[in-house]
């Protein structure tokens, strides 16, 4: 058994900034961060565009950023949350700088980018690898903190709640979290880590679909194990598809062509070079992501093509290479010269707006369990996330959750009897799985079903069929889980099945189209404006 004051699950911007804050204020607190891959592997690392924050108060202001966020979220956002996050943005951004994060400057002024849905240039960035730069700075700060321990390649199997405590009556209205059961991949053992406070910062669930911009770790783990612990999860029908991922014939993680490229002037074209965005929105390429993704999806259905083109040929070549060196190199590696030919792009699953319900301090419906970042439904994004608001959310809610955690640790009012009574993980009667092919087969089946039936454009018939197919996969996975010793692969599949169930369930409950959610049977008007 391992005891901690604070258990952090996930090593992206949310989890790391939260841990740093507590470490600085409470140097005697024992903080353990578990992450299921290498310590720097997270959705944060792959964020290209940057951080949306008001810094140029001569041309920009909080109200403009609030209005842009509300507009993108189709009014489904919680206004008090939006105002809080955006107004706290500059202070949290300054902390990143203080922790050593480098942002692009020219002549002593921040270079500000602009992305779809924003009315002003307000995206601070580090070339086109902003997330990787933030991750580097935060990990360097963490590694200087003697009271923080990072356990890499540790998979959380389930949260520990009072229903694991012998003799406890399980009350759905009063659930307490006492830590988690965690699989140490290297030693093939399931550890019990008890903690006074647990934070879930596990990122998104992109791999519930065939094609995603998310890294392979994004399997919805936090949402799934909070759901299984009977915590509240909501708005799972809102999944954002990024309009421009680099087309590949291979399924899996697709390379993202940042929104910022269109912000700097790139245009969308059909294979034959024809424009089409004017038919869908007066903002054309700078419309919000849901509109652009649906437009591309519709044009591909009409043409039968595999992809559309992103036209960068008329852009300033020098500026492009300076701002997007990583994208430029990736295109060259794939045999594409962006200054001579169209970049082939397709929409890909990108960002989940729903997730674990939290309040303004990041507290979930389960006592002593906090959640921050993409795995949450904080109310910031509403029905569709505004570009580059995700890193901002992680920072601000990481800060708020840290403050509340410090308050609770100072009070020290925890159920120590229950914490001591939590049993070890029981694998009696379980056997090693000799048919790993079953796991990979069921995972492929699930991803194909979700991509075909529950993607950018949905319908009642598709969703009802998806519900039926999902149930069949769930039963097969449950049977595997009931007799097998846990493995990372089985754990992820179990989580993806839970996530798919929630997406389908919440989609079927929708009575109107909002933001990223589009059911053609609920459509009040055609896709095109022409």
Which of 289, 443, 462, 494 is catalytic? The answer is: 289
Beta strands 189-200 and 177-184 are antiparallel
Name which of 69, 153, 184 is nearest 118 in CA terms.
69
Residue 135 in tokens: 């991750």
- Quote the tokens at residue 210: 């065939």
Tell me whether residue 200 is exposed, middle or buried, using C-beta atoms within 10 angstroms of its C-beta: 0 to 12, 13 to 18, 19 or more. buried
CA–CA dist 44, 16 (Å, integer): 11
The answer to whether 265 and 513 have CB atoms below 8 angstroms apart is no
Q: Any bridge partners for residue 388, and if so which?
A: none
Q: What letter would DSSP give residue 231?
A: -
Q: Are 123 and 54 in contact (CB under 8 A)?
A: no
Contacts of 350 by beta carbon, 8 Å cutoff, 6+ apart: 206, 212, 213, 214, 240, 241, 242, 245, 256, 289
Backbone angles phi, psi at 241, to 5 degrees: -105, 120
Is 444 labeled as catalytic in the residue annotation? no
- Measure the CA–CA gap between 134 and 136, rounded to whole angstroms: 5
Give every CB contact of residue 30 below 8 A, 6+ residues apart in sequence. Answer: 3, 4, 5, 6, 147, 149
User: What burial class does residue 118 get, using C-beta atoms within 10 Å of its C-beta: 0-12 exposed, 13-18 middle, 19+ buried?
Assistant: buried
CB within 8 Å of 113: residues ≥ 6 apart: 49, 50, 121, 123, 125, 260, 263, 264, 323
d(CA 4, CA 2): 7
Q: Which of 338, 343, 398 is nearest to 372 (CA)?
A: 398
DSSP one-letter string for 277-296: GGGT-TTGGGS-HHHHHHHH
Rounded Cα distance between 220 and 380, Å, is: 19
Three-class SS of 463-496: HHHHHHHHHHHHHHHHHHHHHECCCHHHHHHHHH
d(CA 151, CA 37): 9
Alpha helix positions (H), 99-236? 130-143, 221-228
- Report strand pairing: 267-269 vs 308-311: antiparallel
**Residues designated catalytic:** 289
């Amino acid at each position: 058994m391992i005891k901690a004051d604070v258990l952090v699950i996930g090593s992206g911007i949310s989890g790391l900034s939260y841990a740093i804050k507590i470490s600085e204020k409470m140097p005697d607190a024992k903080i353990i961060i578990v992450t299921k891959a290498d310590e720097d592997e997270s959705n944060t690392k792959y964020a290209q565009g940057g951080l949306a924050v008001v810094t140029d108060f001569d041309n920009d202001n909080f109200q403009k950023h609030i209005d842009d966020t509300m507009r993108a979220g189709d009014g489904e956002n919680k206004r008090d949350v939006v105002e809080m996050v955006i107004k706290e943005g500059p202070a949290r951004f300054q902390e990143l700088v203080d922790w050593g994060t480098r942002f692009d400057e020219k002549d002593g002024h921040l270079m500000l980018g602009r992305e779809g849905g924003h009315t002003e240039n307000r995206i601070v960035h580090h070339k086109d690898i902003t997330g990787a730069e933030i991750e580097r700075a935060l990990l360097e700060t963490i590694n200087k903190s003697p009271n923080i321990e990072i356990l890499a390649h540790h998979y959380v199997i389930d949260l520990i709640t009072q229903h694991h405590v012998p003799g406890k009556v399980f009350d759905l209205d009063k659930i307490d979290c006492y830590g988690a059961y965690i699989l140490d991949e290297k030693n093939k053992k399931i550890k019990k880590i008890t903690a006074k406070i647990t934070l879930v910062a596990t990122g998104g669930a992109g791999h519930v679909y065939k094609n995603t911009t998310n890294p392979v770790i994004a399997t919805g783990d936090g949402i799934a194990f909070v759901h299984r612990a009977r915590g509240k999860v909501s708005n799972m029908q809102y999944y954002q598809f990024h309009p421009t991922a680099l087309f590949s014939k291979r399924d899996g993680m697709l390379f993202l062509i940042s929104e910022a490229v269109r912000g700097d002037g790139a245009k969308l074209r059909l294979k034959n070079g024809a424009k089409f965005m004017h038919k869908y929105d007066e903002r054309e390429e700078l419309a919000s992501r849901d509109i652009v993704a649906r437009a591309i999806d519709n044009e591909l259905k009409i043409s039968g093509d595999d992809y559309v083109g992103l036209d960068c040929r008329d852009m300033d070549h020098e500026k492009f290479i300076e701002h997007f060196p990583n994208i430029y190199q990736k295109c060259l590696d794939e045999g594409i010269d962006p200054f001579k030919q169209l970049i082939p792009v397709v929409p890909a699953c990108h960002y989940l707006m729903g997730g674990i319900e939290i309040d303004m301090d990041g507290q979930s419906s389960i006592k002593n369990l906090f959640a921050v970042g993409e795995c949450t439904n904080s109310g910031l994004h509403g029905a569709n996330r505004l570009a580059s608001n995700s890193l901002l959310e992680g920072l601000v809610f990481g800060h708020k959750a840290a403050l509340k955690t410090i308050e609770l640790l100072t009070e020290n009012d925890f159920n120590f009897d229950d914490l001591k009574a939590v049993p070890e993980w029981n694998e009696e009667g379980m056997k090693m799985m000799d048919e790993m092919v079953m796991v990979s087969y069921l995972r492929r089946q699930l991803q194909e079903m979700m991509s075909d039936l529950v993607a950018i454009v949905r319908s009642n018939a598709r969703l009802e069929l998806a519900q039926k197919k999902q149930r069949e996969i769930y039963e097969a996975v449950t049977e595997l889980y009931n007799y097998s010793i846990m493995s990372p692969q089985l754990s992820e599949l179990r989580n993806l099945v839970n996530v798919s169930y929630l997406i389908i369930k919440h989609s079927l409950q929708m009575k109107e189209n909002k933001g990223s959610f589009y059911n053609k049977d609920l459509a009040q008007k055609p896709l095109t404006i022409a």
